[in-house]
Structure 1
Amino acid sequence: MTLRQIASVAVYVSLSIFGARAAEAAMNTDALVTEGRIQDIQHAIAEKRTTCVRVVKAYLRRIEAYDKPLKLNTIALINQAALEDARKLDEEPQSLRNTKPLFCVPLLVKDNIDTVGFPTSAGSKALLDNFPAQDAAIIQRLKAAGAIILAKTNMAEWAFSPRNTVSSSYGVTANAYDRARTPAGSSGGTASGIAASFGLAGLGTDTGNSVRGPSSFTSLVGMRPSLGLVSRSGIIPLELDRDTAGPMTRSVEDNARILSIISGEDGADSITQNPAARAKVEYIKFLKRDALKSARIGVLRALAPVEDTDPKVLATFNRAIEELKAAGATIVEAVEIPNLKIHLNDGYYCSRFAFDVNTTLAKAHSPSKVKDVESVYQAGLYAPQNEYDFKRFLKNSKSDPGTTCPYMLDHPGRAAFLKDVEAAMDGAELDALIYPTWRFPPPAQENATSQYKGDNSQLISPATGMPAITVPAGFTDGLPVGLQMLGRRFDEGRLYGLAYSYEQHTHWRKPPYGLDPLEAAPGTDK
């Protein structure tokens, strides 16, 4: 063999190895994004095993292959600039990347959160021309931290429904674990989309249950932070005295990373002007596998009554209690909150819906031609399934809640409720209270309204302003079950520690069947 032939063989072998490694890298990227965590993807990029462009392409391929073909219908609109955003991040030097904690984190964002380049419809076809001039405060923070807005997700129209996710703008969203069942609402698009690995992490909003309920039904971690920790500026409201945004993720760690970025004081939202929001906590420092060893956990049996809880869900909840014990927690059974029935029966609702939405639509940065929500109802611009909720919210709305509704914890009933919950926790020296997130499994889509029951997320956290997190606790007949932990106001760090410890001891999160990693097509790995 001549030197030229030897050289040619060497080049051929070298190119073959390079091609094989490139193909392996592409294939690994597709596997990586399926159930991947923020740190997994960032490490792979830093080690040059993949690129941000490849990561974004992999998520886009999954959306194309699964979302509409399987009739999940989680994604409302794709960000057409996502690949360009990824290319720009790939061109940044490592020194700059290191300053961005969410470098190359493709996010799914609920459709009531202002994001430049997308209409903010809040699930209403009346607002499909509502293109905001600026990002919501939390979107600004996420972008500055290196995140990529990959897509907007479908939601329950105007965030009305905790039961299902049906909008007049984008249709009906299915549960990734069983397409005949509901993902709950109103953040069902984000929930089912993240469960299906259509994005790395997601954002929802929570007035009553809309982060935690859908997260529980799709085996996700969902955090409703304390009222006053996260800005609502640039978010179309449902009830501002209860509304908050929160992260929805496949792991506790990723959830903590997202909340660390979106929390903080914002001059455009007065409830964030408090010492806790100004503190800007890095929540990952609380994530310790042995956090449960020194914890005291109270069981709120009032929210898991034997006569009104699905037997399999109750068995799962009781097993979770044993798992907490095995991880070292001290369990305090049958904790009683003073006056709980009185608080739950009253609810302390004072609807601000029409007032808050109309105020938001009237702002200069909301260019939609629609300026009042009443006209939307009168014109019939809503999905037929949502007529009852629309009519109910309008009927109950106060024309001027500033003079008739005590705001947030200024409401004496809500303040008393908070005091009673804190008294129960203080009396037993508890770090958290636990209960099933839902007392029943996800119902079929057609029964989402008639079988709506057992929604524990509505009961304590929204009225008291206390934080609550749901974490996967298992499955019943293939359907996810969530365990919810309630903590003291602005004590998210402790909640994250407890949830992380439980997650690391149990690993109940499992991906939906039939949504396996894709094999990259030729030429898509560049």
Structure 2
Amino acid sequence: MRIQGSALFKRRRLSLITALLLAITLLLPYIPASTAAAAQAFAYEEITLEELQDGYADGKFTTVQVVQAYLDRIQLYEPNYNAFTTMNANVLKEAAEIDRARAAGEELGPLAGIPIVIKEAVDMAGYPSTMGWAPLSPEKGGIRLIPEKDAPVVARLKAAGAVIIGRTNIPAFSSSGTRATTSWDGDTYNAVDRRFVPGGSSSGTAMSVSGNFAVLGIAEETGGSIQNPAAAQNIVGIKPTFGLVPNAGVVPLGGSTRDVIGTHARTVHDAAAMLDVIAGYTHEDPKTVASIGNMPANGYTSKLNTQALQGKRIGLYGKGWRDQDLTPETQQLYDRAIQELVAQGATVITDPFADTDFAATVKSADGGIGSVYYDMQDYLERLGPSAAINNVQELIEMTGEVPSVFTRYDGNLPDPNSEPDLSAFIASRTDILKIFNDVMDKYDLDALVYPQMFKETPLLSSEDNIGATTVSEINLAGVPLVTVPAGYYKSGSPFELAFTGKMWSEADLLGMAYDYEQATAYRKAPVLLEKE
């Protein structure tokens, strides 16, 4: 059962003490004494959406008090973690307006007063869209590119009453699934341990949520950018079915084929609650018409219960999925997780993709990002006539550079008003989905549950990339995935499971992930360090 109210706060106080003791005994050997500043107590550490809503309703605190506490915490630790590119200058005014509306008895949205962060790649009206790229960064002397209107997901979050703390750091063009090093704003650091890569490209969002700079965050994925940072920083991530959440107003890589907007949270419930707000059809993104009839009638929290794994049939990782061995320690952690799934009543099926061509089909597939030039044209046109740049030709001419995401065209840049040839990608997705769905049906599987990485999170000082097991497969197929904390390596690096299934199965996956989360409770709040 879920632990709520005062009992949960008591448990969290004990968890904080435990975390501090662990930091002394485990982390300090890896941290130079000069940087090991003591962590400051934070009144809202690991607070959940429901606990915040209950506190507001009971008058225990106001939105202004909560937001100010987060701002104070950010001021203390942000210099050592670099999660943000821009802060919302109006955040306290917006918080005060929610308090006024609450006091007046006005109807409030489902996220009223909840502090959130938005990935830099997602448009906010009046705030620079830098794409993580120095030529578009006013701080670096670049062009100031200001969108006239919010992306649909931002508009929905504002309408739901969410309080946006700021915009979070990304690598240039969101083109790394491992780190934010190429960002004009430099590296973001992992909240769990600064030695490890933060995951990308939603690096700053994951750090903000894991490090208790916000309660919820918007992330976005083309190839691992939701799931990689979630797994690297010990939080829950939802990579939704392609077409469930609008991605208009988002800097594209595979806008027509692969890009999805999803959620980062510290709990499965909170991630699901945020998905309820941002999912569904909008005329601003015609792809979302596919979501009609494919969303749960009672929302994405409707199947969250501690019996969700009972009787479920779960497919396990194997070489039929990808010809990649797990490291010995990863295998040990995965074996333990399998036992935990079985203990919750699940039946497991070993390597259901064995004797299929799935791995080879994925390896030879078209990547689906050949439309990036065309998608960028659409994105720039949407910024509005007052924006400094309105098309790809102006982008190249005014910055004096050809963006790295266009190098795939080998200098032969297409007419952005023509139609991209996506026939190879369509054929690849068709083939991958056929094998995927056939295997799910053959073994009557409810989900696949894999280790999200085949090895532990690399060190930031290394040149290694995150070893995800699910990135190409999931994104090429367009199917959903949920990450959930499942333990730690001996080094302190998080270990996470990835729950995935057929298109539109988010609610079922969230139910199973919730059951596992509640049974194991592996996440521990990271102990942040001040910069000296």
TM-score, length-normalised on structure 1?
A: 0.85
More divergent stretch after superposition (275-284 vs 451-460) = 275-284
Call closer, same or farther: CA 1:116–1:56 in 2, change over 3 Å: same
Partner of 1:522: none
**How far did residue 364 of structure 1 move?**
4.9
1: CA distance, partners of 2:512 / 2:411: 38
How do 1:316-327 and structure 2 match up within 5 A?
316-327=333-344
- Aligned equivalent of 1:5: none
Which residue of structure 2 lines up, in the alignment, with residue 60 of structure 1?
Answer: 71
Amino acid in the other structure paired with 1:36: I
The letter for the 1-side match of 2:517 is E
Contact 2:113 2:161 in 1 (8 A): yes
Relative distance call for 1:440 and 1:509 in structure 2 (3 A) is: same
* Aligned mates of 1:178, 1:394 — CA distance in 2: 39
Q: In 1, distance between residues paired with 2:327 and 2:397? A: 39
Structure 2 distance, partners of 1:261, 1:111, is 19
The DSSP-based 3-state class of the residue aligned with 1:445 is coil
**Alignment partner, residue 36 of structure 2:** none
Give 1:112's aligned residue. 121
Shift of 1:375: 2.2
Aligned to 1:460: 473
How far apart are 1:67 and its partner, in Å? Answer: 1.1
| Residues in 1 aligned to 2:161 and 2:269: alpha-carbon distance in whole angstroms | 17
Q: Which residue of 1 aligns with 2:496?
A: 482
Distance 1:55 1:277, change over 3 A: farther
As a proportion of its length, which structure holds more helix?
1
Is the alpha carbon distance of 1:272 and 1:397 closer, same or farther for their aligned partners in structure 2, counting shifts above 3 Å?
farther
Distance 1:376 1:333 in 2: 54
CA distance in structure 1 between the aligned counterparts of 2:440 and 2:112, rounded to whole angstroms: 39
* Stretch moving more, 147-156 or 450-459: 450-459
Q: 1:140 aligns with which of 155, 165, 169?
A: 155
What residue number does 1:15 align with?
Answer: none
Matched, 1:250 2:266: yes
Identify if the C-alpha distance between structure 1 residues 168 and 213 changes in structure 2 by more than 3 Å, giving closer, same or farther: closer
| 1:238 match | 253
**1:421 and 2:436 equivalent?**
yes
Shift of the 490–278 alpha-carbon distance from structure 1 to 2, 3 Å rule, reads: closer
**Per-residue CA distance 1:7-34 (angstroms, 9 max, x = gap):** xxxxxxxxxxxxxxxxxxxxxx974421
Deviations 1:48-75 (A, max 9, x none): 111100110011011100011x2x1111
Larger Rg: 1
Alpha-carbon distance between aligned partners in 2 of 1:457 and 1:283, rounded to the nearest angstrom: 22
* Match status 1:347 vs 2:365: yes
2:346 aligned partner: 329
Q: Deviations over 1:272-327 (max 9, x none)?
A: 01224676651111100111112111102128889732221221111111111111
Aligned position for 1:471: 484
Unaligned segments of structure 1, at least 5 residues: 1-28, 383-388, 517-526
The answer to whether the Cα contact below 8 Å between 2:371 and 2:420 also exists between their aligned partners in 1 is: no
Q: Tell me: CA distance 1:305–1:420, structure 2 relative to 1, closer, same or farther (3 Å).
A: closer
Give the Cα–Cα distance (whole angstroms) in 2 for the partners of residues 346 and 379 of structure 1. Answer: 35
User: Of 164, 169, 178, which residue of structure 1 is paired with 2:184?
Assistant: 169
Q: What's the secondary structure of 1:273's corresponding residue?
A: helix
Q: Indicate yes or no: 2:88 matched with 1:79.
A: yes
* 1:348 to partner: Cα distance: 2.1
Alignment of 1:31-46 (within 5 A): 31-46=42-57
The letter for the 2-side match of 1:462 is N
Q: 1:333 to 1:60 in 2, by over 3 A?
A: same
* Equivalent-residue separation in structure 1 for 2:246 and 2:59 (angstroms): 36
Q: Aligned match of 1:357 in 371, 376, 395?
A: 376
**1:100 correspondence with 2:115:** no
For the residues of structure 2 that align with 1:423 and 1:94, how far apart are their CA atoms?
55
Q: C-alpha deviations, 1:364-416, integer Å up to 9, x for none?
A: 5271337427727983598xxxxxx65754549973683421396xx122112
Letter in 2 for 1:243: D
Aligned residue number for residue 48 of structure 1:
59
Match of 1:375 among 391, 396, 415: 396
Q: Is 1:212 matched with 2:227?
A: yes
What amino acid does structure 1 have at the position aligned with 2:98?
A: L
Unaligned segments of structure 2, at least 5 residues: 1-39, 138-143
How much has 1:340 moved relative to structure 2?
1.0
Cα RMSD, aligned residues only: 2.6
Amino acid corresponding to residue 379 of structure 1 in structure 2: G
Amino acid corresponding to residue 186 of structure 1 in structure 2: S
Residues 279 and 378 from structure 1, CA distance in 2 versus in 1: closer, same or farther, beyond 3 angstroms?
Answer: same
Tell me which amino acid in the other structure corresponds to 2:63: C
Q: Residues 114 and 514 from structure 1, CA distance in 2 versus in 1: closer, same or farther, beyond 3 angstroms?
A: closer
How many aligned positions are there?
476
Alignment partners' CA distance in 2, 1:396 and 1:193: 38
Pick from 438, 442, 451 the counterpart of residue 464 of structure 2. Answer: 451
Give 3-state SS (helix, strand or coil) of 2:319's partner: helix
CA contact (8 A) 1:32 1:41 kept: no
SS at match of 1:446: coil
Give me the identity figure in percent.
Answer: 29
Cα gap change, 1:229 to 1:307, in 2 (>3 Å): closer
1:124 aligns with 2:127: no
Provide the rounded CA distance (Å) in 2 between the counterparts of 1:227 and 1:242: 7
Question: Given the superposition, is the C-alpha separation of residues 297 and 32 from structure 1 closer, same or farther in structure 2, using an over 3 Å criterion?
Answer: farther
Whole-Å separation in 1 of the counterparts to 2:437 and 2:60: 49
Residue 192 and residue 260 in structure 1: after superposition, are their counterparts in 2 closer, same or farther (change >3 A)?
same
Q: Is the 8 A contact 1:295 1:329 kept in 2?
A: yes
One-letter code aligned to 2:130 = S
